[in-house]
Amino acid sequence: MNRLTLYYAIESFFTMMSLPTTAPSFTLEQALAHWKTAKDELATVCQHAKGFYNQGWLMGTSGNLSYKVATTDTNEPLSFYVTASGLDKGNLSPADFIWTTTNATPCLAEETRKPSAECLLHEAIYTHVPSATVVYHIHSPLWTFISSQLPTESLPLGLGLPAIEMVKGLGAGSHTEQLSVLVLPNSQAMPELVALLAPQWEQLQVSGFVLQGHGLYTWGGSAFEAKRHVEIFEFLANQLYFQQLTN
């Protein structure tokens, strides 16, 4: 098959999938190859999003989710699929994700949708945690409440997590080990948050952080691991809330 024939074959595929065909930084071959790999993984992410929505963690189009593109080409820039802005997270499909590269730039020149406003934080996680392949950002009512009780002037700080059995799921060596989760002041300026995070990466004890009065970010080496981390963080948030009620 010559290059022109291949181009029309790829163009027909993306037309059928209702996806644009021209990438400013990537070839059509890369676009097709990544989509073939990503669509099944994104279907799993969509299932998880629906579960989070049903738990009340992604209400009112809040939150965002992403999946990093795997590549063996060391010259290929970082890219990932991230939810488009303003979508119902209880009713996502793989086509609702925007293929994005650095600086929140869509990989496809003809892309007209906006990536999630917090795309830069997803990029920062993938950059500083190379093992991460999935990032979930949920608007947890519990983490929103707990972090709101902290004095903003004391942030960023490490909030101690309960030393109980479930903390082992976040990397603790035993149920008696005390780990902490980073809490950052919230901001609508994503570059400011990325800069605030920059000196904190080496000190992170768990695969996640909390934005005050906003929600939780967590990640994993697979969609399953990221989902497990969401569930463990939520369990621990419940314990922190109960501790506040009894103290």
- The ranges assigned to domains in the chain are 22-246
pTM score of the predicted model: 0.88
pLDDT (tens digit per residue) in 191-236: 999 999 999 999 999 999 999 999 999 999 999 999 999 999 999 9
Q: Give long-range contacts, CB 8 A cutoff, 24+ apart: 43-48.
A: 43/93, 43/94, 44/223, 44/224, 45/92, 45/97, 45/134, 45/223, 46/92, 46/93, 46/94, 46/96, 48/136, 48/223, 48/226, 48/227, 48/230
Residues 61-74 pLDDT 10s: 999 999 999 888 88
Q: 67-119, pLDDT tens digit by residue?
A: 999 888 888 899 999 999 999 999 999 999 999 999 999 998 888 898 887 99
84: DSSP letter: B
Q: Does domain 22-246 have CATH number 3.20.20.70?
A: no
